[in-house]
Structure 1
């Protein structure tokens, strides 16, 4: 498994856990963090034994976004990774899920600060769990900056536009309770338990047919901007082939035999 000094990678069964690991800076973005994160997405998609991904942060925070102290000083931590960014100028956007969507489901486990670039990364995840004390928000306008990680496009598609614009234009913090109310996250859990809950959700996903899971995820995003008729046509195009797989036959046979199915991606 990969990883860098600011991004740890570990396996929990069929789940790959990616941990933003720069707690002294509230996991603010750095080149080692971004390189490790992008490599983690690639590793998950390349390994068929991995069925889900959990993204979390070390030290009680998720991610405080861009390292403004480093920005003011003219550089990001981890300059020795600069060659990776030179070779792939979009690497940081792919790491932040702006230009990249893993085919495996991504579950965010949020504690503490998830602000600015942290909230932007969050918008690229599929399922979101947060501790009750978590804080969200897009603070960029307060610093005279622009939330260029995709928020002006994606946020209004994920929550009502009035809430999206309030978040974008005021730069104020949002509690976990308010974030779940407006639909930015899916559930609020007791502080310190977000990772455990995310892993339980991942295990439920892992027990399902992986070909079906990946096809469903792909179809949801592919049809998001389509009209209903076009979307329903694509659903049939993506969905019918799943019924012809060996996994589909195994699922029916296991149901009939009252046993746990053994899916083999066939």
Structure 2
């Protein structure tokens, strides 16, 4: 798939979360630009439903998460989460039925089996930076801003940052971000390893779709097994991790997709993977 080829096909969502399909990529767009895409209950419900839809559809091979209006996410909207002025009683019912829904939506208590690529423009702060840590590959426009501002407000970044951040970037940088609450421009976020690519403003989604296209061209069983192995072995000792890696990876060599990959390479043609 070419990263930006084809028009997006709309596939559900809520008033604050747009869902589109680009070939084998599901694009989830936080869509509340008038509030800098602050997290609301309709947005969280849409996010969680999007993660589940991607998990359940074998034709989807990657997910792109982005924000509308030149902003990624400015964090949690506490008034909206409490239900003030919220459209749709059924959203509150969803939260009552599943009190963990907001943590699953924010990727704290849920990890999609498909790779998640973040495309960041503008503000990605507080809850936005916390969601970011649940994604796998990260692209940002050059004017994007990151940060965990909670301590400046006497709050705690309870979306997972005190656990995850120091596992993703060097501890000294993680602690500085957590304890100062200062903003980080995109180039500094790239330098410390929080994001992988800085691109011209307005092109983060295009770059994310380009990366998604490369992921989609690979064997889906292999991609999902590799992602699972990276996360499940991250807290293990090296001997235990290597043992788990073999258990996860060895069965892939017996799949029809593995044989197709080798055959396509020998025949100098694109492989046709069938999840078999």
**TM-score where L is the length of structure 1:** 0.97
Deviation at 1:89, TM superposition (A): 0.4
Q: 1:169 aligns with which of 167, 179, 182?
A: 179
Deviation at 1:34, TM superposition (A): 0.1
CA distance in 2, matches of 1:249, 1:178: 43
Is it true that 1:253 corresponds to 2:253 in the alignment?
Answer: no
Q: Tell me the residue number matched to 1:181.
A: 191
CA distance in 2, matches of 1:186, 1:213: 19
Q: 1:94 aligns with which of 104, 113, 116?
A: 104
Q: 1:232 aligns with which of 224, 238, 242?
A: 242
Q: Tell me the residue number matched to 2:18.
A: 8
Deviation per CA, 1:33-62, whole angstroms, max 9, x where unpaired?
000000000000000000000000000000
Alignment of 1:63-78 (within 5 A): 63-67=73-77, 75=84, 77-78=86-87
Deviation at 1:2, TM superposition (A): 2.4
Q: Tell me the residue number matched to 1:193.
A: 203
Q: 2:36 aligns with which of 26, 34, 42?
A: 26
Is it true that 1:129 corresponds to 2:153 in the alignment?
Answer: no
Q: Tell me the residue number matched to 1:106.
A: 116
Q: Tell me the residue number matched to 2:54.
A: 44
Deviation at 1:77, TM superposition (A): 3.9
CA distance in 2, matches of 1:84, 1:94: 13
Task: Please say if residues 215 and 238 of structure 1, whose CA atoms lie closer than 8 Å, have aligned partners that are also in contact.
Answer: yes
Alignment of 1:147-162 (within 5 A): 147-162=157-172
Deviation per CA, 1:46-102, whole angstroms, max 9, x where unpaired?
00000000000000000000125657x984744621100000000000000000000
Q: Unpaired runs of 5+ in structure 1? A: none
Q: 1:57 aligns with which of 60, 67, 71?
A: 67
Q: Tell me the residue number matched to 1:118.
A: 128
Count of aligned residue pairs for this structure pair: 265
CA distance in 2, matches of 1:263, 1:74: 45
Deviation at 1:144, TM superposition (A): 1.3
CA distance in 1, matches of 2:85, 2:150: 18
Moved over 6 A (4+): none
SS at match of 1:2: strand
Task: Please say if residues 129 and 188 of structure 1, whose CA atoms lie closer than 8 Å, have aligned partners that are also in contact.
Answer: yes
Q: 2:272 aligns with which of 258, 262, 265?
A: 262
SS at match of 2:71: coil
CA RMSD of aligned residues (A): 1.3
CA distance in 2, matches of 1:28, 1:78: 16
